[in-house]
Amino acid sequence: MKSIDKIRRHLIAATATAALLSAGAQAQERFITVASTTSTEQSGLFGHLLPAFEKAAGIKVRVVALGTGQALDLARRGDADVVFVHDKVAEEKFVADGWGIKRQEVMYNDFILVGPRADPAKAAGKDILEGLHKIEAAKAPFVSRGDKSGTHAAELRYWKAAGVDLDARKGPWYRDTGSGMGPALNTAASMNAYILADRGTWLNFKNRGELGIVVEGDTRLFNQYGVILVNPAKHAHVKQADGQKFIDWLVSPAGQKAIADYKIGGEQLFFPNATK
């Protein structure tokens, strides 16, 4: 019996030691937190990029996907090491206010106006402002993300440039969802409504229903993405060295090639344009 008890004690001790070693390894795992947009996640880009970076650098990346405004707010609270978003005006203010160290451009794609293939508002063409004006005039159903995202900010700029005062003209035709790109597209598909989307998420979106691209090709639909290291002077726990490694990889030839190589159905979703 004594020998059996001794064996049991050894087994318990060995199990406890293994658990402690495992916990220690997990605690020591190198990782950074990246606050980014739903478009980079829901397009599938991160699923393509991150394994390559993690293999090259030995650093895991935990992505928190939000609208750009919410991603920047998360970083202001100190809950991210890097932001990777697409609202240049908001990004530059983030840096100017001292929350970020430097903004670097990484890649671009474009926005598209999606809507019913029957196009009841007759919005089709290459002019986003004319298309939106026709949608408002027809009071055709329109879905907005309404979530402070880069896409939402762009949509509001386009309405304003089209001479449409949303505060005065909003009605049952305009659905403000407060949701990410994928859920907003699902809403548009269920309503057979118009919506402004980024091309990357649209290409990866399966539940299209009767929707198709209505407006594309307008130079105003250009959609630039930038990356910023959160300022450790604001939050001392920011992982500056590892966050910078991620940024350096994104703008390096290897990272830029990985971005260019991401395609769906043979169509490239994002176009690298980092400058040294």
pLDDT per residue over 163-216, tens digit each?
Answer: 999 999 999 999 999 999 999 999 999 999 999 999 999 999 999 999 999 999
Q: How many CA atoms lie within 13 A of 151 on its CB side?
A: 33
Query: Which of 13, 31, 46, 81 is CA-nearest to residue 201?
Result: 46
Share of the chain above pLDDT 90, in %: 85
Dist. CA 78–CA 99, nearest whole Å: 9
What is the rounded CA–CA span in Å between residue 90 and residue 57? 29
Coil, helix or strand at residue 100: strand
pLDDT at 275: 81
Q: Which residue has the higher pLDDT, 12 or 78?
A: 78
Q: What is d(CA 258, CA 271) in angstroms, rounded to the nearest whole number?
A: 10
Mean pLDDT throughout 155-163?
A: 97
Which residues have CB under 8 Å from 95's CB, separation 6+? 101, 102, 103, 228
Distance (Å, rounded) from C-alpha 129 to C-alpha 162? 5
If one counts every other C-beta atom within 10 angstroms of the C-beta of residue 116, the result is 21
Q: Which domains does the chain have, with CATH numbers?
A: 26-108+225-272 (3.40.190.10), 110-221 (3.40.190.10)
Structure tokens at 149: 């995202």
Strand 211-215 relative to strand 194-198: parallel, antiparallel, unpaired? Answer: unpaired
Please say whether the beta carbons of 50 and 79 come within 8 A.
Answer: no
9 pLDDT higher than 80: no
Range 122-149 average pLDDT: 97
pLDDT of residue 164: 96
Q: State the pLDDT at residue 4.
A: 53
**Containing H/E element for 117?**
none
- Per the DSSP assignment, residues forming a β-bridge with 194 are 142
In the predicted structure, residue 2 carries a pLDDT above the cut 70: no
- What CA–CA distance (Å, rounded) separates 139 from 237? 50
What is the distance between the alpha carbons of residues 222 and 110, in angstroms, rounded to a whole number? 5
